[in-house]
Amino acid sequence: MNAPVSLAAIVERHAADVEARLVAALASDSVLDVASRYHLATGGKRLRALLPIWLGTNLGGDPEAAIPLGLGIELLHNATLVHDDLQDGDRTRRGEPTVWTVWGDAQAINVGNHLFFVGVDHLARSGADAAFLSRAARVMIDVVGGQALEFQLQLPADHRDHVGATVAGWERMARGKTAALFALCAEAGALSAGADPGERARAAAFGSDVGLLFQLQDDLLDLVGDKGRGETATDIAEGKISYPVAWAKENAGEAARMRLMAIIRTPREVTSRAMVEEALGILRDVGAIDAAARRIGDMWRELRESRYDALLPGLVERVLEPVRHALPA
């Protein structure tokens, strides 16, 4: 894989086409298509559509073979976002009102379900065989399982469904919620290039690690960056167990840990800005922010050992720019 095609080049060549095809897949005047297009118009990098094209192109495949797979996975991803916004009670996404605030809870569930099956239909019509569709379904089972685990990590220890908010628990959640779909993207790219099962499995492992890195970045940016919701640290207010929180829970002294978790477990509507700032201060003081940056560095070193290390500079440029400082040379 010399002189790889960069992700930027793939974006340049295919992003507009991908966008047009997503909109064309949801073109009717039904409320579900209207709401789906509204959701898509709130933005997004369409990474799940572009990654299969990128991987496939670099493995010698025809982009046209990868595009329907990418569109299908992107639609599945957006289905989960519509449901997520409702589940988390998020009223805005990138500054725009979320689907459930415009169309109500019941229709938001339908909009997500609609996007699921438009996505499945794209995969089914992509030319992929039933075995790949089974693989995609099992990936979605992992994604939904990760989302379920995300809520379980937030439950108090005496709750029936409690799962310990450990670093291992966080990783299990993130491998499902985020990394599984990245793995499917990479595998779809390999499939589109006619790769053998061994190559497909290596691509999936690479994709999963990229996904975990992406989730680590997302967790870190929520605390110290701007995800476009107009405020930082919404994860803390929402009670989410991000990597830094899980790390602090395992590694901080008792007083800091107790105070941090008390803030995390305070219901969102009574969590004050001062409490969020206090939690941020604790995370910084106990070294949890640094630990997240270190873990990003560790993941990066692992990826450098992979079959696809030639592709990594392209990833930094388009996906991991915000944490570039944490990536070892």
Applying CB under 8 A, the residues found at the interface with a copy of itself are 30-32, 83, 86-88, 103-107, 109-110, 112-114, 116-118, 120-121, 124-125, 127-131, 133-134, 137-138, 140-141, 144-145, 147-148, 151-152, 161
Helix (H) or strand (E) holding 163: none
* Residue 138 or 273 with smaller CB distance to a copy of itself: 138
Residue (of 158, 151, 66, 77) closest to 120 by Cα position: 77
Phi, psi of 88 (to 5 degrees): -85, -10
Task: Give residues with Cβ within 8 angstroms of 303, minimum separation 6.
Answer: 206, 209, 210, 213, 309, 312
DSSP reduced 3-state for 93: strand
* Residue 67 or 128 with smaller CB distance to a copy of itself: 128
| Pairwise CA distance, residues 207 & 195, whole Å | 15
Distance of CA 18 to the CA centre of its chain: 19
| Pairwise CA distance, residues 167 & 259, whole Å | 18
CB atoms within 10 A of CB 205: 16
Q: How far apart are CB 127 and a copy of itself at their closest, in Å?
A: 8
Q: How far apart are CB 126 and a copy of itself at their closest, in Å?
A: 8
| Pairwise CA distance, residues 242 & 305, whole Å | 26
Phi-psi region of 7 (alpha: psi -120 to 50; beta: other; left: phi over 0): alpha
Q: How far apart are CB 17 and a copy of itself at their closest, in Å?
A: 22
* Residue 105 or 309 with smaller CB distance to a copy of itself: 105
Q: How far apart are CB 151 and a copy of itself at their closest, in Å?
A: 6
**Six-digit token pair at 210?**
């990229």
Q: How far apart are CB 265 and a copy of itself at their closest, in Å?
A: 15
| Pairwise CA distance, residues 245 & 219, whole Å | 9
Could you give the angle at the alpha carbon of 314 between the alpha carbons of 202 and 11, nearest 5°? 100
* Residue 67 or 283 with smaller CB distance to a copy of itself: 67
Q: What is the CA radius of gyration of the chain?
A: 20
**Six-digit token pair at 216?**
């680590």
Q: How far apart are CB 122 and a copy of itself at their closest, in Å?
A: 8
Q: How far apart are CB 132 and a copy of itself at their closest, in Å?
A: 8
* Residue 130 or 270 with smaller CB distance to a copy of itself: 130
* Residue 29 or 196 with smaller CB distance to a copy of itself: 29
* Residue 209 or 235 with smaller CB distance to a copy of itself: 235
* Residue located via tokens 């086409």: 17
* Residue 134 or 272 with smaller CB distance to a copy of itself: 134
6 DSSP assignment: P
